[in-house]
Amino acid sequence: MPVKRLAAAVAALAFAFTASAAKIDSLSAACVAFVARHDALTAGLFLRQEFFRRDPALLAELMGSGHDFTASMRERLGGLIDDEFGETMAALEAEAARLPDAAERAYARALLAFDRYKIEFDLKKDKRSSLPHLEEADLLAREALRSKRRIADFHRLQGEIYNQFIPLKGGVSAIYFSTEAKKSYLAGLAIRKDHPHTLVLLGVWNLFAPEIAGGSKTRALDLFRDARRTPADDYPTFLSHLWESLAYSDLLRRPEAIEAIKRALAIAPENTWALWILAELEAGRRPLDVML
């Protein structure tokens, strides 16, 4: 079913979207500085996956398992992440709490709560532990939007939170959250039409939404390309290539899918999900079929 497929896809890929595009919004200098430091954290976590350097054996186990985590692997991974990024996250949380503007403070805290969610759900595969962090991020993102609705990245973050509720809530709720996610993306693009992260996210929505709901794989490919028209950090560019690869694969355009994932790997050569996608494509499989 299309909604089930969308929910599974949202849950499957271990990539979070950073807030670097907030630099082009009307944020205070203090918040922009926070976002820059937050970007560095999330790029290390979700793009370069730097924690694996502390335990190469765990990385080998993960790649060999097809991302099927055991309890032991989950525990070891959590320890690596805490050792590598624990102090940085604590410092960012203290910095977020000191931001003078209430809406920006709520937004910054929402970003960090969302990071915590992604660590638990995407990296450690712990659904039960992840939900409180996502609910906290949702409350904080709503608080930020109540005060300031003309910040594109506030809408991007709220939309992505809605997207993440899909696999956690399921059922008829998935339709509601999918619809609200799209509304949030469009609201953000009405403010900043070239917002790279939002363009990628709307592309993902189009890739998995049924045509009757407005989804279009062709439109998805256009959006992934549009996301690269505006200069951005490596992370959104990487994600645009990765999702473009999955879209080409879903359309049975395997050579183009391989070219796209190789472009993603040129940015992050050690990213485990990109490596896995390339291996699946070279074996003649469609990665989304395996994941779903």
pLDDT digits (tens, 9 = 90+) for 170-219: 788 988 999 999 999 999 999 999 999 999 999 999 999 889 889 999 99
pTM above 0.75, yes or no: yes
- By the 8 A CB rule, do 98 and 125 touch? no
Question: What is the structure's pLDDT at 178?
Answer: 93
What the block records as the tokens of 254 is: 């395997």
The whole-angstrom separation of Cα 56 and Cα 180 is 40
Contact 243, 261 (CB under 8 A): no
Q: Cα–Cα distance between 10 and 50 in angstroms, integer?
A: 23
Q: Is the pLDDT of residue 22 over 50?
A: no
Average pLDDT, stretch 75-103?
Answer: 92
133 neighbors 116 (Cβ within 8 angstroms): yes
Q: Is residue 108 within 8 Å of 141, Cβ to Cβ? A: no
| 8 Å CB contact between 153 and 188 | yes
pLDDT in tens, 116-141: 999 888 777 777 889 999 999 999 99
Q: Of 8-12, 58-62, 80-84, 284-288, which gets the smallest average pLDDT?
A: 8-12
Q: Domains in the chain, start-ordered, CATH in brackets? A: 2-291 (1.25.40.10)
Percent above pLDDT 90 for the chain = 60
Q: Which two tokens stand for residue 236?
A: 């959104």
